[in-house]
Structure 1
Amino acid sequence: MAFTRATGKHRAPNRITCKGASAAGFATLTATGVIGSLASPALAADSGTEAATHAGLTQVIAIGDAVAGAVDDQAEAQRHAAEKAERLKAEAAARAAAKAEAERKAEARAKELREERERAARAEERKRLGTFQLPVAGSYVTTGYHSGGSLWSSGSHSGVDFRAASGTSVVAAGAGTVVEAGWGGSYGNNIVLRMTDGTYTQYGHLSSIGVSVGQSVTPGQQIGLSGATGNVTGPHLHFEARTSADYGSDMDPVAYLRTHGVAV
């Protein structure tokens, strides 16, 4: 008995037909969104992974930027701190230098003032020591220089006599050093001074002597008291100016005193 193959749905599709159907079905499923629906979880997973990956990269980049910014800020802060420290150091050095300069100037000025005071004191001392005055304050000459008479062994007066009552203060006519103090023969009690200018002055007929040899005296300092010792007719002060300490080197006492600014 012979069989014939029936047509219709019972016929097995050939490979090409199946493939075509499969392709058509895939197209249909794709068109209807079934595959898209079925595939969406996987695609979503892939998309999520990619998004997460992108998010991680963004986060890393953001952290990197933040770290770089922090490093830059720290470097800038350190730079500012270093500049500030350097500026403060320079300012401190400048203040120290200014202070040292001020102290140097103050010290120099103080030294200058001291020197000025010392110069003024020395000048005042020289002036004081260089001044002369009458050996008897307010007195006057009663017997002049080179007056003649038998009272003097040389025949003339080797000095001048100043009026002075016994016990009147006799002072140094100027600054000097005592080179003689004691009995002087016809001069009685006498004192001889070597003056600071190298000349000599003599004070005779004293009732008392108040200085000793080697002693320094200043102008106006009391050296004794007037009297009438030696070859005299009454109390007075015999005053001589000499070029040396020895008798016979006399010079005009009035001219001598006037040369030194004393009104006689």
Structure 2
Amino acid sequence: MAFIRATGKHRAPSRLTRKSAKAAGIAALATTGIIGATASPALAADSESVTASSTGLTQTVVSLDSTLAAQIDAQAKAQQHQAEVAAEAKAEAKRKAEAKAEAKRKAEARAKEAREAEARAARAAERARLNAFHLPVAGSHVTTGYKSGGALWSSGSHSGVDFQAASGTSVVAVGAGTVVEAGWGGAYGNNIVLRMNDGTYTQYGHLSSIGVSVGQSVTSGQQIGLSGSTGNSTGPHLHFEARTTPEYGSDMDPVAYLRAHGVQV
């Protein structure tokens, strides 16, 4: 009787089956971490090399970041410094411009004040000139005094003073005023009467010629005629009177009058 081997569990595994089982076992060991624990030195070294390389790269990146940050910070500080310098320069330029403008304003104010002072001085000088009094004949002197007695005068005394003057000598207004009489005056010959700006009157007699007319304004020292010997006169001279009115008989001391107005007689 022939013996037949039973199939199934009593059959030896084939070579392919054994290889498959070995591979499955290795996979299982890998899953449980045994292979990792018993890895060869070469594999461990490779792992450490990778770790070291990774650490060095990180350090390099950190170093680059620090350098870049320092450069950015330095650049920011430089820009800030430049901005501060520019701002200070701008402020200094503004201060200089303001100082220049202020100096110009003060100079203009001083110039204006000087011009105003000069104008005031000129006006004062003009007023002084207009209000100043002069001798009726420049450089002359009195030859016959006020109230001198004698038969030459109808009133018995001299109503004015006589100033030495050759015929044709310039006769001027002793002060500023207005002509109220200009013509023949009887015993006074050709005569002029002025109403002075202070309200008094002055009279100029025995003139050889008259250079003004009634109503005309005259300034102090202005020529109004020429001396002579017209009228009741014994020779060329100027008869000068100071009066309170334009009429004869309101006379006052001519020398005292002129001296009161600052004229040396």
**Would the TM-score normalized by the shorter structure come out above 0.5?**
yes
Partners of 2:130 and 2:219 within 8 A in 1: no
5 Å matches for 1:179-218? Answer: 179-180=179-180, 182-186=182-186, 187-212=188-213, 213-218=215-220
Cα distance in 2 between the residues matched to 1:73 and 1:170: 97
| CA 1:48–1:197: 2 relative to 1, 3 Å | farther
> Who is 2:19 aligned against?
none
> Who is 1:13 aligned against?
none
What is the SS of the residue equivalent to 1:205? strand
What is the SS of the residue equivalent to 1:245? coil
Cα distance in 1 between the residues matched to 2:145 and 2:138: 18
Partner AA of 1:217 in structure 2: T
Cα distance in 1 between the residues matched to 2:181 and 2:54: 127
**Deviation, structure 1 residue 196:** 4.0
| CA 1:94–1:236: 2 relative to 1, 3 Å | same
Percent identity of paired positions between Structure 1 and Structure 2 = 65
Cα distance in 2 between the residues matched to 1:198 and 1:69: 98
Cα distance in 2 between the residues matched to 1:97 and 1:80: 25
| CA 1:261–1:61: 2 relative to 1, 3 Å | same
> Who is 2:233 aligned against?
232
| CA 1:47–1:214: 2 relative to 1, 3 Å | farther
**Deviation, structure 1 residue 167:** 0.8
Cα distance in 1 between the residues matched to 2:56 and 2:191: 128
What is the SS of the residue equivalent to 2:192? strand
> Who is 1:91 aligned against?
92
Partners of 1:181 and 1:209 within 8 A in 2: no
**Deviation, structure 1 residue 166:** 1.4
**Deviation, structure 1 residue 236:** 1.8
| CA 1:240–1:102: 2 relative to 1, 3 Å | same
What is the SS of the residue equivalent to 2:246? coil
Unmatched runs of 5 consecutive residues or more in structure 2: 1-37
Partner AA of 1:218 in structure 2: S
**Deviation, structure 1 residue 238:** 1.3
TM-score in terms of structure 1 length = 0.72
Cα distance in 2 between the residues matched to 1:210 and 1:48: 135
Partner AA of 1:74 in structure 2: Q
| CA 1:92–1:194: 2 relative to 1, 3 Å | farther
5 Å matches for 1:1-264? Answer: 35-36=40-41, 39=42, 42-149=43-150, 151-174=152-175, 176-180=176-180, 182-186=182-186, 187-212=188-213, 213-219=215-221, 221-264=222-265
| CA 1:191–1:53: 2 relative to 1, 3 Å | farther
Cα distance in 2 between the residues matched to 1:189 and 1:44: 150
Partners of 1:177 and 1:194 within 8 A in 2: yes
